[in-house]
């Protein structure tokens, strides 16, 4: 009698596992195509420059300080939040026309970017300023010469980094020497282990042009002709 009950328990357990497996397989087949489609839309939303999307800049830091929120890349942060808007909202009325941060009417989004709801992803004034700068640079035909166009959330300044250049910031160590604490550049130029091998300027390969924020930063309000 006990053996019969034990056998039924085993058979019941196996049957339950089979049911769970079948349900999981059905769920997988139903949901993954949707995620693949969304991933495809993510790629298509990226602004096209030089036949492809801008790579996200490589940021290497030797400092434990996190006081500065440094780079907001247009292809990394401001585009992602627009995917759902683009997929669920398709009317002209849903496109915002006026800046919620007092910057006036939005400029036209370049048609070849294929991002009709780009402004919906601008959650902060930094996002909007960076997007406006990218659009103006694109219209002027100069955006493609930069590997990264970012904004320093501390100073509010735009930092456009040209291809073949690395942005370097320094700090003074306990011996009074200037050492590198942050390097920013294209992933092809900045290795992932730069934090351990690039301590001083002499450690950076000579074919890379070293620039500082003071040398390349621009005021977005002045560049865009906006009142601050």
Which residue segment(s) compose the domain that 162 sits in?
A: 58-224
Residue 48 included in any domain: no
CA 50 to chain centre: 18
Residue 50 included in any domain: no
Element at 139 (helix H, strand E): helix 125-140
Residue 137 included in any domain: yes
pLDDT in tens, 205-224: 999 999 999 999 999 999 99
Number of domains comprising the chain: 1
- Parallel/antiparallel/unpaired status of strands 158-162 and 58-61: unpaired
Residues in Cβ contact with 220 at an 8 Å cutoff, skipping those fewer than 6 apart = 129, 130, 132, 133, 151, 156, 157, 158, 226
Residue 41 included in any domain: no
Residue 44 included in any domain: no
Residue 130 included in any domain: yes
**What single-letter DSSP state applies at residue 52?**
B
3-state secondary structure of 105: strand
pLDDT in tens, 34-69: 433 433 332 233 333 433 345 555 555 554 333 333
CA 158, 66, 180, 146 torsion-angle sign: negative
Residue 175 included in any domain: yes
pLDDT in tens, 62-94: 543 333 333 334 333 333 333 334 434 444 556
């Amino acid at each position: 009698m006990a053996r019969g009950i034990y056998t039924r328990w085993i058979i019941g357990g196996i049957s339950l596992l089979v049911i769970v497996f079948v349900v999981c397989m059905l769920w997988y087949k139903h949901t993954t195509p949707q995620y693949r489609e969304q991933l495809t839309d993510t790629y298509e939303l990226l602004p096209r420059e030089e036949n492809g999307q801008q790579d996200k800049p490589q940021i290497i830091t030797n400092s434990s300080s996190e006081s500065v929120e440094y780079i907001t890349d247009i292809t990394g942060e401001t585009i992602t939040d627009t995917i759902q808007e683009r997929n669920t909202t398709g009317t002209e009325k849903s496109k915002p026309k006026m800046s919620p941060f007092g910057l006036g009417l939005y400029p036209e989004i370049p048609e070849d970017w294929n991002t009709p709801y780009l402004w919906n992803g601008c959650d902060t004034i930094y996002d909007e300023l960076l997007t406006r700068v990218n659009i103006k640079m694109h219209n002027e035909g100069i955006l493609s010469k930069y590997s990264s166009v970012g904004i320093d959330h501390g100073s509010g300044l735009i930092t456009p980094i040209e291809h073949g250049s690395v942005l370097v910031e320094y700090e003074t160590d306990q011996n009074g020497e200037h050492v590198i604490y942050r390097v920013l550049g294209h992933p092809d130029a900045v290795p992932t282990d730069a934090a351990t091998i690039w301590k001083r300027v002499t450690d950076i390969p000579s074919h890379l042009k070293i620039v500082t924020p003071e040398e390349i930063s621009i005021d977005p309000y002045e560049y865009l002709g906006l009142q601050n």
